[in-house]
Amino acid sequence: MSGGVDSSVAAALLARRGWDVTGVFLCMGSAVEGADRACCSPEDAADARRVANGLGIDLHVLNLGEDFGEIIDYFVAEYTAGRTPNPCIHCNMRLKFGRLADLATDLGIGHLATGHHARIAQRDGRAAIARAADLRKDQSYALFGVRPEVLPRMVLPIGEIGAKDQVRKLARAMGLDVHDKPDSQEICFVADNDYMQLLAERSPQALRGGRIVDTGGEVLGRHDGYGQFTIGQRRGLGVAAGVPMYVVAIDPASGDVTLGTREEASGTWLRAGAVAWHHRPGAESFEATVQIRYNHRGCGARVHVLDDGAFEAELFEPVHAITPGQAAVLYDGEAVLGGGWIEAAS
């Protein structure tokens, strides 16, 4: 229970359906200073406590400062390496469906519920994560790393509801005063949503200046830190080339940031490693839908599972900004098969 509308409605729905509900508020402790707008802000903690009291359920506080510290370290290391991290997926893997699942086991609690916009479906007689009823808010992509043994324990009531305004209407009807609380749009551990400040404090290397070049090697200008760029970026490049230009490559060794046309920033192949499977197909080569970022709705592809456990995907059409460091998640219809972390693309 984060104190937000989604998790509050999830708890209220389950309580009304007769579940024995126990709330847990995750706190990152002192993982980073100054992030008073974080997921464990005093305001959010008070909201979670008030909702729990109103529902008549217990609320535990789980301090995960050390675990959040590891996620922050990962976040900084990825930008330093010229990649674009996805800390929310790691949080789901390690904390919300990792440490929280372990706490549930310790407390003798059989199931684990959150306010994620995704569904639990059945595939071949086993639990599977599936897309939410409201595809605009679907978060199944961010859940591919959940441990397979946790899947049968997951309950995701919000994913069965339609549009987000329906969730807010439910909250209002239930008397939950968080019904009009804005959704968080920030990285929870970054103060004022300024990750440049975090990089400056923890990895000055990522803010080392360098050249901005085109795909032919011509120097277009200079930048004051390659860590501020991501593949596919168009705005804030600091150069004028006469045609729209996008970031197509970031070289942390030289500090060069390469720009190209939209066509050059698109690709039809990727390789993903550190793969996690929920429902691995029996064949080493198969067709699936590949989603390469949160707001990407997916593209058909031929997937090849490699001997080292990674997979390659040959996309059936060009996709813009396939970004190392982001996840490539495989779907069969609406069900998640598994996914991995993008290592290379072309």
CA angle 143-146-148, nearest 5°? Answer: 130
91 is catalytic: yes
Per the CB < 8 A criterion, the answer to whether 290 and 330 are in contact is yes
The C-alpha atoms of residue 129 and residue 229 are separated, in whole angstroms, by: 32
188 is catalytic: yes
The C-alpha atoms of residue 142 and residue 165 are separated, in whole angstroms, by: 22
Concatenated DSSP letters for 224-242?
S-GGG--TT--TT-----S
Catalytic residue among 27, 39, 40, 91: 91
Question: Which single residue is written with the structure tokens 């029996």?
Answer: 282
- The H or E element containing residue 259 is strand 257-260
Question: Which single residue is written with the structure tokens 């919000």?
Answer: 158
DSSP structural state of residue 326: B
Cα 251 to chain centroid distance, Å, stands at: 24
Q: Give the HSE-up count for residue 41: Cα atoms under 13 Å, Cβ half-sphere.
A: 19
> What count of residues does the chain have?
346
Describe the strand order of the beta sheet including 219-223 as a list of residue ranges: 219-223, 210-214, 257-260, 246-250
Residue 23 vs residues 13, 118, 222, 341: alpha-carbon distances, Å: 13, 20, 50, 32
**Residues in Cβ contact with 39 at an 8 Å cutoff, skipping those fewer than 6 apart:** 2, 26, 28, 184, 188, 189
Catalytic residue among 27, 39, 188, 299: 188
Q: Of 260, 226, 230, 263, which is closest to residue 246 (Cα–Cα)?
A: 260
Where in the sequence numbering do the catalytic residues fall? 91, 188
